[in-house]
Structure 1
Amino acid sequence: MYAERASLLDGAVVWHNEPGPGPAVPVLPDGCMDLLWTGGRLLVAGPDTHAQPSEGTRAAYAGVRFPPGAAPAFFGVPAHELRDLRVDLADVWPARRVRALADRVTDAPDRAAALEAVALRHALDTPPPDPLLRAVAQGLDAGGTIAATAAAVGLGTRQLHRRSLDAFGYGPKTLARVLRLQCALALVRDGVPYSEAAVATGCSDQAHLAREMRDLAGLTLGRYAELTAASRFANSATPAPSGSRTTA
C-alpha cells in the first residue's frame, strides 16, 4: 500500500509503501529525486529518463520526494551524476553519519516521519534551491516552450541547457517531455479519455502521447491504465489509505 502527504520541506512530498496485494506499478520519470529508506539502508534515487522496476509489492519503503531542481543542493551532487541511478547515501555523504541516520529511521515507529525529520535537519545546513531553476520547471510544466522559458528567466538556451543538467539531470527538452507525460497520466487516472488528455497537455494527438508513453515509460497507455486500476482496487480492499502516484 502506498500513501503520501505534503512535507514540511518546501515543495517536497513524504511517502511510504508497504508490501501488499496488487501488481507492482513501474516507477515512471517525474523530474524528481528522492531520499529513500528501505531494508535498513538510506538511498538516493536520481532523476529518471525511463521507467524503473518497482519492488512495491515486496519491500517496505519510505521516501522524501524533492520537486524538480531542489535535490542537488540538498545532496551536494549535480543531478546528472545520479541520472537513472539508485545509490547508497553513504556514497554521497560521510558513511559513518549515514549509518547513524539509517539506524535512527529503521528504529522509528513512523519511518516516513523520521526520514522527513532527517531531511528537515539537513536542509538547515544546505543552500536553498535556485529559484531561477524552480521558475524553469514551473514554466515548462505550464507548457511553455524552451525558448520562452529561457527568455523568461533571463538565460540563453545554451545556458539553460547547461544549468538544467546540474539541476534536473537532463536538458529542458527532456524535462518538458517528462512533465507533460506526468500531466497526461494524471488526467488518464482521473478517467479522461486518452485523446482528450493528449490534447490538453500539448501533444499533437493520441498517437503522439502513445509514443511518448512508450519512449519514457516502456508501457502502452492501456497497460498503464490496467496496472493503476488493479493497484487502486487492491489498496481499496485494505483499511490503510492508498496514494495517487506509482509505487516505488
Structure 2
Amino acid sequence: MYVERASRLPGAVVWSRTVGARTATVLPDGCMDLLWNEGRLLVAGPDTHAYVAGGAPAHWAGIRFFPGTAPAFLGVPAHELRDRRVDLADLWPAALVRDLRARVDSSPDPARALEELALDRAARTAAPDPLLRHLVAALDNGRPVAATADELGLGARQLHRRSLTAFGYGPKTLARVLRLQRALALARAGVPFAETAARSGYADQAHLARDVKELAGMPLGELLGRSG
C-alpha cells in the first residue's frame, strides 16, 4: 500500500509504502528522496532509468524533494548520487545520523518524522536557486531547452553544469523525464495512447512507446498494469 501527501516543505511530498514479497518499479521523476527503511536512513539519488525495489516485505517512508532542491539540503551535488541509493551516514557525520535515525525510529509516524527533519535542516541551509524552479516549470510545460536557456539568460554550458549539480543530469534528460511523467499521468487517467503522445510532446505514439521502454524498462501497457 502506498500513500502520500503534500509536505509543509514547499514542493515536497511525504509518503509511506508497505512492500510485500514482490518487487516495485520506481520510475525516473527528476526528484531525490530521503528514505527510512526499518532503522536505516538512506538517500535515493536521481534516476535515469527504472529502479526495481523490494523482493521482501518491508515498510518504507520518505520525503520526495521538489526537483533540484535536494542538493542544497544534503550538501552533495546531485550527479554524485545519480542512479544510486546510499546511506545517509556516507554523506553526513555518523554521530549526527545516529541521532536522527533514533528520532525517526522512535516516532509512531516515520514519514512525519522525516518531514520534521527536513524542515529543520531547510531552516538552517541556504535556499535552493530560484532559477532552477523556473527551469523545471518551463521544461515541464514543453519548452525547448535552448529557448529556456535563452529566457533564463544562461549559456548552454552553464545551464548544463548547473543542471548536473541540481538534478544529476543535463537539461535534455530532465526534459525527457518530465515528459515521461506527463505522459504517465494522462495514460493513467484513461487518455488514449495516441492522444497522450500528442499532448505530452512526443512526435507520435511510436516515439512515446520507445521512450517509455527505454526509461521504464517495459512497454506502456505493461507498466500501467503493474502500477495499478
Tell me which interval the TM-score lies in, with the shorter structure as reference length.
over 0.9
Alpha-carbon distance in structure 2 between the residues aligned to 1:187 and 1:54 = 25
Alignment of 1:146-185 (within 5 A): 146-185=145-184
Contact 2:33-2:45 at 8 Å conserved across structures: yes
Deviations 1:135-160 (A, max 9, x none): 11111011000011101111011111
In the TM superposition, what is the alpha-carbon distance from 1:217 to its structure 2 partner? 0.9
One-letter amino acid matched to 1:67: F
Alpha-carbon distance in structure 1 between the residues aligned to 2:179 and 2:99 = 39
SS of equivalent residue, structure 1 residue 114: helix
In the TM superposition, what is the alpha-carbon distance from 1:228 to its structure 2 partner? 1.6
CA spacing shift, 1:154–1:56, aligned 2, 3 Å: farther
Alignment of 1:28-107 (within 5 A): 28-55=27-54, 58-107=57-106
One-letter amino acid matched to 1:8: R
Contact 1:38-1:59 at 8 Å conserved across structures: yes
Q: RMSD in angstroms over aligned alpha carbons? A: 1.3
* Counterpart position of 1:209: 208
Alpha-carbon distance in structure 1 between the residues aligned to 2:73 and 2:102 = 20
What percent of counterpart residues are identical? 63
Q: Which runs of 4+ in 1 moved over 3 A?
A: none
CA spacing shift, 1:185–1:175, aligned 2, 3 Å: same
Answering whether residue 19 of structure 2 is matched by residue 19 of structure 1, we say: yes
Contact 1:18-1:56 at 8 Å conserved across structures: no
Alpha-carbon distance in structure 1 between the residues aligned to 2:49 and 2:157 = 24
Alpha-carbon distance in structure 1 between the residues aligned to 2:102 and 2:219 = 40
Deviations 1:112-147 (A, max 9, x none): 101111111111111111001111111101100001
In the TM superposition, what is the alpha-carbon distance from 1:24 to its structure 2 partner? 3.8
Instruction: Compute the TM-score of the two structures, normalised by the length of structure 2.
Output: 0.97
Alpha-carbon distance in structure 2 between the residues aligned to 1:19 and 1:93 = 28
Contact 1:18-1:57 at 8 Å conserved across structures: no
Answering whether residue 124 of structure 2 is matched by residue 125 of structure 1, we say: yes
One-letter amino acid matched to 1:47: P
- Gaps (5+ residues) in structure 2? none
Deviations 1:195-229 (A, max 9, x none): 11111010011110111011111110111011122
CA spacing shift, 1:185–1:87, aligned 2, 3 Å: same
Alpha-carbon distance in structure 2 between the residues aligned to 1:70 and 1:86 = 17
In the TM superposition, what is the alpha-carbon distance from 1:180 to its structure 2 partner? 0.0
CA spacing shift, 1:56–1:177, aligned 2, 3 Å: farther
One-letter amino acid matched to 1:205: D
In the TM superposition, what is the alpha-carbon distance from 1:54 to its structure 2 partner? 2.2
Deviations 1:166-200 (A, max 9, x none): 01000000000000000000111111111111110
In the TM superposition, what is the alpha-carbon distance from 1:58 to its structure 2 partner? 2.1
* Counterpart position of 2:140: 141
CA spacing shift, 1:111–1:174, aligned 2, 3 Å: same
SS of equivalent residue, structure 1 residue 61: strand
Alignment of 1:233-244 (within 5 A): none
SS of equivalent residue, structure 1 residue 35: strand
Contact 2:78-2:166 at 8 Å conserved across structures: yes
Contact 1:33-1:65 at 8 Å conserved across structures: yes
Alpha-carbon distance in structure 1 between the residues aligned to 2:184 and 2:206 = 14
Contact 1:17-1:56 at 8 Å conserved across structures: no
- Gaps (5+ residues) in structure 1? 230-248
